Amino acid sequence: MFAACCRLYGKPEWTLAHTLILYAVLLSRIRNAVHFPRQLRIIRNLAEASVGNEIRRERMPELLADVTHIVVDGSMRDVTAFNQAQVSNENDKAALLARHPTLQAALHRLEDDSLLRGCLAAFDLDPSISPSAFTQRADAFHALFDNPACWPDLTGALLAIGDYSRQENRFTGYRFSDFGASASKSEIPWQNLFKGKKEPRLVAVLMSLLDQVAAANDNLACLQTIQLDYLQQCTTMDWRYYFVKYIAMREGVSGRYAISPSGYSICMLDKSRMHSDYRDPYLLAALCESGVSATVAARPWPWFPGTKLNPGK
């Protein structure tokens, strides 16, 4: 870290988060921190969750003070500048490990997953959980999410269980919903889904899915069975029904959708904001189901400009 700082400080490759981590390392050497590997992991998780608005040059005095509290005092109580949702998540993880120390390896492996990046807000971290149940869920998560070939059926199976999306309500009445991207090979949509504060709906749906997969012999077959069972038992053909039934409706590159209150007017976004052209997932599904040639389907006309208030043509 010191060599990298000497070589890269002042360049884009060296970030303020790197400065915070190097400061933690120096503090641990000066103060002979006993539990530094655990403290460094916490600081890494907090820095990852705080990248953006929370780690800024003008906030460095407060952030450095937080690092001091963690390394020197060994406490999270006075940590105020880092992302507070992640602070809460770190406290939940600490409570779980205090009750079940044997879960440390499984929990750390989840933290190190490229989709989770230290944040386990989507997991049930209740200390009353049995160690075997937590371990089985962790193993099922890696088996599913570390294999992009499962992603198209993953989004369908999750939606069959419930609306698990992270939502951002807009003043115009519609909402942004993040589902993770089934068709994209990018990890960013999944990272956006899993980071942030704890969402009980997301936790409930994800844990239900992982429990069913953990009890199955074939992961992909299990995902497909969940979707088929839902479609056969569904009595209300709302937007979730159509999203589960037609995989084309879940092909948005960003994993983000602008959804009207009724659920029947939806924009499928390729970016994170509505500043470009979009696709209507219902029309896209109808197009794909119509049997037209790939050449026709690839033409620009399935895309449209505008917003939910001004849909364009």
Radius of gyration of the chain (CA): 22
Confidence category of residue 309, pLDDT binned at 50, 70, 90: very low
CA dist 163 and 240 (Å) reads 8
pLDDT digit string, tens, across residues 181-233: 887 778 999 999 999 999 999 999 999 999 999 999 999 999 999 999 999 99
| pLDDT at residue 313 is higher than 90 | no
CA dist 252 and 22 (Å) reads 39
Whether the Cβ atoms of residue 261 and residue 173 lie closer than 8 Å to each other = yes
CA dist 82 and 64 (Å) reads 10
CB within 8 A of 288, min separation 6: which ones? 246, 248, 297
pLDDT score of 109:
98
Portion of the chain with pLDDT greater than 90, in percent: 72
Span of 225-229, 230-234, 269-273, 280-284 with lowest mean pLDDT: 269-273
The residue ranking higher by pLDDT, 224 or 278, is: 224
Once rounded to an integer, what is the mean pLDDT over residues 47-55?
88
Once rounded to an integer, what is the mean pLDDT over residues 271-276?
76
Span of 46-60, 74-88, 158-172, 270-284 with lowest mean pLDDT: 270-284
- Token representation of residue 211: 């429990």
CA dist 251 and 269 (Å) reads 10
pLDDT score of 295:
64
pLDDT score of 303:
74
Contacts 24+ apart (CB under 8 A), 270-274: 274/307, 274/308
| pLDDT at residue 310 is higher than 70 | no
pLDDT score of 307:
58
Mean of all residue pLDDT scores within the chain: 91
Whether the Cβ atoms of residue 241 and residue 234 lie closer than 8 Å to each other = yes
pLDDT score of 293:
66
pLDDT digit string, tens, across residues 286-295: 988 887 766 6
pLDDT score of 296:
64
pLDDT score of 158:
98
| 201 backbone φψ class: left, alpha, beta (φ>0; ψ -120 to 50) | alpha
CA dist 123 and 121 (Å) reads 5
Closest CA to 209 of 250, 167, 251, 160: 160
CB within 8 A of 81, min separation 6: which ones? 50, 54, 59, 62, 63, 65, 66
Q: What's this model's pTM, rounded to 2 decimal places?
A: 0.91
pLDDT digit string, tens, across residues 79-136: 999 999 999 999 999 999 999 999 999 999 999 999 999 999 999 999 999 999 999 9
Q: Where are the alpha helices (DSSP H) in 9-130?
A: 16-31, 36-50, 60-68, 84-99, 104-111
CB within 8 A of 24, min separation 6: which ones? 36, 39, 40, 43, 67, 70, 71
pLDDT digit string, tens, across residues 153-170: 999 999 999 999 999 887
